[in-house]
Amino acid sequence: MNLSINGQSQVPPGFRFHPTEEELLHYYLRKKVAYEKIDLDVIREVDLNKLEPWDIQEKCRIGSTPQNDWYFFSHKDKKYPTGTRTNRATAAGFWKATGRDKIIYSGCRRIGLRKTLVFYKGRAPHGLKSDWIMHEYRLDDNNQEPNMSGK
């Protein structure tokens, strides 16, 4: 069960990828973390530390429709080998968390968290705030390392 042409996943005309947060976590992120096959896998795997926000658009295009949101998987990079802090720097700037994490529910059951981040050009603690927003989703399982994000 896979919709593809020449190995490329294809979305039939008229379909748009507008997942709910529950679908993102419960289906896509959970399968990704477990290395399970995803039918019509439109979420690309990227290295967020090597990709500037303005390069994500081209890389994470789904079909030919104009998009305001881009979806991708990325593995977290540790800031220091022995620590738990995440390295969120790119060549041109860095992602900085803003506000509180939001709890994601499936029905009444808590399944994960959403962190909101803003991109700053330059180097911390300085840096120029931009309009780029990223939502980082984490599962509540023990699988804490891989994460998935959508602008």
Q: Which residues bind a second copy (CB under 8 A)?
A: 1-5, 10-20, 23-24, 27-28, 39-40
Please identify, using beta-carbon distances, which residue of 29 and 48 lies nearer to a second copy: 29
Give 107's contacts (C-beta < 8 A, 6+ positions apart).
none
Q: How far is the CB of 14 from a second copy (least distance, A)?
A: 3
| Residue 16 beta carbon to a second copy: minimum distance, rounded to whole angstroms | 5
Closer CB to a second copy, 117 or 148, in the complex: 148
> CB of residue 53 vs a second copy: minimum separation in angstroms?
22
Q: Residues of 79-114 as b/e, b for ≥16 C-beta within 10 angstroms?
A: eeeeeeebebbbeebbbeeeeeeeebeeeeeebbbb
Measured from the CB atom, is 19 or 127 closer to a second copy? Answer: 19
Instruction: Give the Cβ contact number of residue 32 at 10 Å.
Output: 19
